Structure formats: structure tokens, C-alpha cells
Chain A
Amino acid sequence: MDQTTVKKSRYGMAIDLDRCTGCGACLIACAVENNVSPGQPKVNERNGTTWMRVFEVQDGRPFPDAQTAFIPMMCQQCEVETPCVSVCPQNAVEVDPETGIVGQIPQRCLGCRYCMTACPYHARYYNWWDPKWPDGMEKALNPDVAPRMRGVVEKCNFCHGRLHEARARAAAQGSRQINPSDYIPACVEACPVQAIAFGDLNDESTDVALLARSERAFRFLARLGTETKVYYLSGRDWVRRLADRELARSKKETLHG
């Protein structure tokens, strides 16, 4: 069978911000799945590693009228002019044409962090420390994801290990097409209020494609034209207005400690 007969996918997500409760299950499920190591004693918000980070935002009105929303933020999987790809001197980042997933190869990365500066979403994280787990916990790491070394950048790849698993499962039946229910990222699976939908945006019938076309859907910093594949949903105007603002004013990429 020729490669061209394989259906091209554009994996994407739709996150309902009106449902998100800010519990953080997605954040932990992500770290468990992707072998992100626990923080060092001196770790903080600037030098920590969270492929998926949930930001708490408010509308700025004073007590008692303030409104809060939670925004889970991870790699937005920019489709065109992907900022991290174009700046990488090492060719360590690429957009997979078959899945639309932006891949980061830590072994190629030299740790210059140019991509972190380029990323409009602050969704990239630098490993300030070697990954370290408490005694004995290495035996409980996910065998499908390799730990990264100190000095490289890493980020969300829509739980690519699970895509490998889904492909292998399909291949065992002699098929190249995965069963969509076999490939669900860890954050989507864990969410207690089922606020995240995931699937192939090219397939009009998927929940995610449907939600992406909804009136409540928007994308962060859409004006940059990078055609991100993570959609957010909210009926609240003040939340939608955040889309054009920089969300994370983190200095993690420039300061250590």
C-alpha cells in the first residue's frame, strides 16, 4: 500500500472554558503520561515543566463581582508559519504532514531556547534539571515515552506515544487507519467534567470539528495567522476578549530561579 492512500489527519482539540473547573487533573494526567519528572525543591512557576498548564484568569472587576475562568494552555499546534519551526537552528522541530502535530525532538535540541522566545503561547519548557524521580519510581514510568535530559526544550505533542500505540493496535489487525477511540490524549481522558474534545479536524463528523465551527469557538492570538489547532469555547465575552491578549506573562524563558 502506498503512503498516499493513508488519510491525512489534522488532530485538534476544543476546550470548553465554560465547563473547566480548574481542578488540574489534565495537568497531572499529562505529566504522568509523558514522564515529566516531579519538581526540584527550588522549583517555581518560571522554571517548572508543565506541558499542559492551567491558568486562572479574572475579568478584573473588584470584589464581589469578579469572574474567574480557567484556561488550559499547551502547545497550540500551529499549522502554518509555525514560529518554533522557523527559528530552530537545529531542525529539532517539525510539523508532521500526516497528523499536523508539531513534534519536538529533544535529542536534536541544543537548548538555545529560541523557540521558547518565538512561541506566542509560552507553551514550551526548558529542562533546567536532569529528570529525577523518587527511589523506585523509575519502574512506574510510562514505557512509551522517553524521558528528556537537562538542557533541552520540550512541549506537548498530543500524547504522541498514544498515537504510536493506536497505530500498532491497528497494524495488528492489518490496518493503517487507526480507530479514533484508540487515540485520546491523557488530558482529554482525565478531565472530570469532559471539557476537552479531541479528534481529527479534517473529519467533519468528529465532535471536535463540530465544536470548532461553533459560535462559541475562538482561538488564541488568531491574528498571528498561525492557524492553531486548539480551539477554545466560551459564551462569556470577557473570556473571548482574552484571546487577543498575551495570556502568560511568564519570564520562565529568560530567568533561572
Chain B
Amino acid sequence: MQKGALWFLSGFGLALLIGWYAFPQLLYRSVDQPVQFSHAVHAGEAVGMTCDGCHAVSDDGRFAGIPTLEQCAGCHVDVLGASEAEKYFVEEYVRQEREVPWHVYARQPDNAHFSHADHVKVGEIACERCHGPHGTSETLRPFEENRITGYSRDIWGVNISGVKSNPWEGMKMDDCVACHKENNRRSACLACHK
């Protein structure tokens, strides 16, 4: 091998290292959720809640998303269990009547319109199709915010290359469009943009 090729290859290698490893580290800022929460406990046998117990579509078709403090305080008016996280939640938020500033993994930008009612009630798509099976998660993973766009990492997908290993990875417009095309659904821009 020529010496010159070594120079070329070391540049090439460094770029790969930066592009594949350092870039995602720099691009995303990792933030912990303000309160720890276990979906597994709530949806597990002991409590036995279903997804729409907290994340419900109202009669007017609006999706409430993450439950409000009022909903949580419906049960957690006092500390019920033994976990530190719950104690912290009750003391810091319930007692002080402060809404929890949750970081939303699936938050779409202002110009995207997404109706859960349309997809879940009419389209009969399961929650997991887009949100993944997080109903069994023990903890809330850190929220990764794109430093440039402010979007959640879930929008692009975990894999920086854009390659998706699960159907729920990626929530960009392309992902929506692919599914709409496949199922012959609305394709007008204004169907999903506002």
C-alpha cells in the first residue's frame, strides 16, 4: 500500500468516526424527565390500567396526550407506594399544584396536524404502531432534543442513519406519507398540515 493511501484512509476513518459517532453525540442534548414513571407498574396487573385510561381521545376528537396533573392526582392525592419517584412527584407537583413539564417524545411541530381520533378510532391503528411497546417500560428514558431543530430524537428515529429496524421508529413526514400511500389514505398537503 502506498503511503499516500494511508493519509487518505486516516482522513476517511476520522470522518467516519466523527460522522457516525461524535455527530449524534453533539447533535442531541439528553434531558431527564422531571419525574420518573413506570408504565409497567401502571399497566401491570397490580394497577391494570389501559393506554386510554390516561391517553384518551375526548368526545370532540381532541387527544389529551400526556395526562394532566389533575388526572394523576385523581389517584396520587397522597403517596400510595414506596417509591422515591412517587414521593417526589406528590411533594413537588401534586401538593404544589404545579403541572409537570414533561418532555414529549412524539411532539410534532406546529404546522403538523395529527388526529389521534382519526387514526385510532377510524383507522383502528394500535398505539404501538407509532409509539412502540412502551407500555411495559420500567423507567422513562432520557429525552433527547435535537439542538438545531428542537425536535425529539424519536422524530428522526434512534438510528442516525435513518435506517429503521422497527415500524414505530421515525415520525417524520416521510414515515407518515409511506403509511398513507400504502393504505391509500388522504394525500393532500392540508390533510396533515395546518
Contacts and interface: CB of A to CB of B under 8 A. Distances in A.
Interface of A: 1-3, 94, 96-99, 101, 103, 105-108, 144-147, 157, 160-161, 164-165, 167-176
24 contacts: A3-B184, A96-B190, A98-B186, A98-B191, A105-B190, A108-B189, A144-B113, A144-B194, A145-B194, A146-B109, A146-B193, A146-B194, A161-B113, A161-B194, A167-B61, A167-B115, A168-B60, A168-B115, A169-B60, A171-B61, A171-B115, A171-B117, A171-B122, A172-B59
A98 B61 contact: no
A2 B61 contact: no
B80 to A, nearest CB: 32
Contacts of B191: 96, 98
Nearest to B118: A171
Interface in B106-163: 109-111, 113, 115, 117-118, 121-122
Contacts of B122: 1, 171, 174-176
Contacts of B57: 172
Contacts, number: 79
B2 interface: no
B61 A170 contact: yes
Interface of A is mostly: loop
B16 to A, nearest CB: 32
A107 B59 CA distance: 32
Contact of B189 (A94, A146, A171, A175): A94
Given A101-B190, A146-B194, A160-B190, A172 B113 contact: no
Contacts of B110: 146-147
Query: Which bucket holds chain B's interface residue count?
Result: 20 to 34
Contact of B121 (A97, A144, A165, A172): A172
Given A2-B184, A3-B184, A161-B194, A172 B189 contact: no
B58 interface: yes
B115 A164 contact: yes
A169 B61 contact: yes
Contacts of B111: 106-107, 146
Contact of B58 (A99, A101, A146, A172): A172
Contact of B61 (A145, A157, A165, A176): A165
A160 B58 CA distance: 21
A123 B109 CA distance: 27
Nearest to A141: B110
Interface string B57-68: 111111000000
B188 A168 contact: no
A3 B186 contact: yes
Nearest to B190: A103
Nearest to B57: A172
Contacts of A170: 61
Best-buried of B59, B60, B185, B194 by chain A (most CB within 10 Å): B194
A169 B194 CA distance: 17
A172 B61 contact: yes
A164 B191 CA distance: 8
A176 B60 CA distance: 14
Interface string B167-194: 0000000000000000011101111011
B60 A97 contact: no
A95 B193 CA distance: 14
